Structure 1
Amino acid sequence: MTQSILRRVAIGTALAAVALPVAPCARAQEAAAPDYAAIVAAPDRSDADRQTDQRRQPARMLAFAGVRPGMTILDMEANAGYSTELLARTVGPTGKVYAQDSAAVIERFVKDKFDTRAQKPAMKNVVHVVRDFDDPIPPEAANLDMITFFFAYHDVTYMPVDRAAMNRKMFAALKPGGFLVIADHSAKQGDGTSVGKTLHRIEESTLKQEIEAAGFRQVAEGDFLHHAEDPRDIPVFKAPVPIDEFVLKYQKPQ
């Protein structure tokens, strides 16, 4: 009787030892990066977006950010929704993207552009959020996996926005370990926020100071949009050379 019990225990232990490696493999599969190039190459994306791809390098941006299926993401100043759509395609049907814009930005720049894009099947998991930048987070958007703020932080420097309050609320909305990925057009050293409206640029060090003051910790920096030939003193929309742009990844400490 005792020997029978011992045999069963030995067999059970052996099976458990065999089963142990399966769990890490399953977790690795769940965390595996999607095919970002295939997402960008989707045949139903618009020709206008493909033109924008040439300067924005979206596959590299999505990879740098680490966007994964199932994530819940807030896209700050979504504007016409170029980045929002790419995020929505990447997080897939099990994820969600909140696309934030203020009423003033919609009235002045977006109008019906976002609503037109929102009709696309790829946008089914997107919620359009119309809220001021001082208070951009809807009540239901808690414990976010990621916030993106692409090429628009400079805009809020010349709007009546309490940026410190905005940054604190972004920090609070992320889950511990969540990420803020932010990119913008580079200004010259010493320009700070003074050229936000005229050149549509911001000094990288100034942005870093403001973001880090809210508690964010920088974890990565991308160099794939840097262009040394840009003198950084020309308005972004009139520059004859590619614009120098910085890309930063921050994390909310665990």
Structure 2
Amino acid sequence: MTISIYRRAPAAGVFAILSMFCAWGMGPATAQDAKTPDYEAIVASPDRSDADRQTDQRRQPAKMLAFTGAKPGMKVLDMEASGGYSTELLARAVAPSGTVYAQDSAAVVERSVKDKFDTRAQKPAMKNVVHVVRNYDDPIPPDVGGLDLITFFFAYHDMTYMPVDRAEMNRKMFAALKPGGFLVIADHSAKSGDSATVGKTLHRIEESTLRQEIEAAGFKLVTEADFLRHPEDPRDAPVFHPQVPTDEFVLKYQKPS
């Protein structure tokens, strides 16, 4: 099931025409869409919430947005969007003509995130977001394809203790990306040898395990980032009660052209 949370009519006909051209990748908006946004300015937007600014302190969102390469006009899938912290940032980065599909399963939405996401969805910055309520191993509506970017932030480990076919999920993500499109995935690092066994207890996953699963679907590693690395983390405590900053890995994969 796909739920559109925003479909406001443009204020003027000329704006509507320009928006259509932009969505089709043609016309006057194309040059603007090629520009890289000012990610620091996005993060500093005065209408962002205090709660999100608190989260910024550990997430380093400007660096994460730059690493994703999100730009105006892009079509993005945000896996396990949860309360929409990353969804909103991505929506700001791909505005005004891009779209962000914020995905979560029906069970998770009803149990823990519906109110948070619905409240966020009322913000003007979320006008180009579509809330997609589907199972994680079938996350993309059949009428959605040719995605430029998929993000999977700090949630892949959740798939290890839910009834999710991760191999099928990864195949579906691969199929939904356009050739040359990117998957950016970040998660909390588990100790060597922990594999996928501590997802529920520590909310972590061993990096090598995640890499193997993603690469089995056909994704090719392009680069990785170290701005969330914390080698001082012994990686043996739940991430919600860290004694030191949590060690986290950030990886960028690509669907071969």
Same fold (TM over 0.5): yes
Q: Which residue of 2 aligns with 1:102?
A: 105
1:115 is matched with 118
Among candidates 39, 42, 46, match of residue 43 of structure 1: 46
- Tell me the SS of whatever aligns to 2:240: helix
Identity %: 80
Paired letter, 1:33: T
Deviations 1:197-222 (A, max 9, x none): 00000000000000000000000100
1:75 aligned residue: 78
Does residue 214 (structure 1) correspond to residue 223 (structure 2)? The answer is: no
Q: How high is the TM-score relative to the length of structure 2? A: 0.87
Distance (Å, rounded) in 1 between the aligned partners of 2:56 and 2:140: 28
Bigger Cα Rg: 1
User: In structure 2, what is the Cα distance between the partners aligned to 1:198 and 1:28?
Assistant: 48
- CA shift for structure 1 position 28: 8.3
Instruction: Report SS of the residue matched to 1:138.
Output: coil
Which residue is equivalent to 2:149? 146
Question: Larger relative contact order (C-alpha < 8 A, sep ≥ 6)?
Answer: 2
* Secondary structure at 1:236 match in 2: coil
The 5 A counterparts of 1:165-204 are 165-204=168-207
Equivalent-residue separation in structure 1 for 2:183 and 2:105 (angstroms)? 19
Matched, 1:65 2:68: yes
- Distance, in Å, in 1 between the alignment partners of 2:247 and 2:83 is 22
* Inter-partner Cα distance in structure 1 for 2:154 and 2:239: 11
Out of 123, 131, 137, which is 1:134 matched to? 137
Indicate whether 1:125 and 2:128 are aligned: yes
Deviation at 1:27, TM superposition (A): 8.6
Instruction: Deviation per CA, 1:112-164: give whole Å up to 9, x if none.
Output: 11000000000000000000011000122210000000000000100010000
Give 1:241 shift: 1.0
Where in structure 2 are there 5+ consecutive unaligned residues? Answer: 1-28
- In the comparison of the two structures, how many residue pairs are matched? 229
Q: Is the CA contact 2:75–2:99 (under 8 Å) kept in the aligned structure 1?
A: yes
- 1:84 alignment partner in structure 2: 87
Residues in 1 aligned to 2:219 and 2:92: alpha-carbon distance in whole angstroms: 27
Amino acid at match of 1:99: A
Q: Which residues of 2 match residues 27-38 of structure 1 at below 5 A?
A: 30-38=33-41
Q: Distance in 1 between matches of 2:151 and 2:212?
A: 18
For residues 207 and 239 of structure 1, the distance between their equivalents in structure 2, rounded to whole angstroms, comes to 22
Question: What letter is aligned with 2:226?
Answer: D
Structure with bigger helix share is: 1
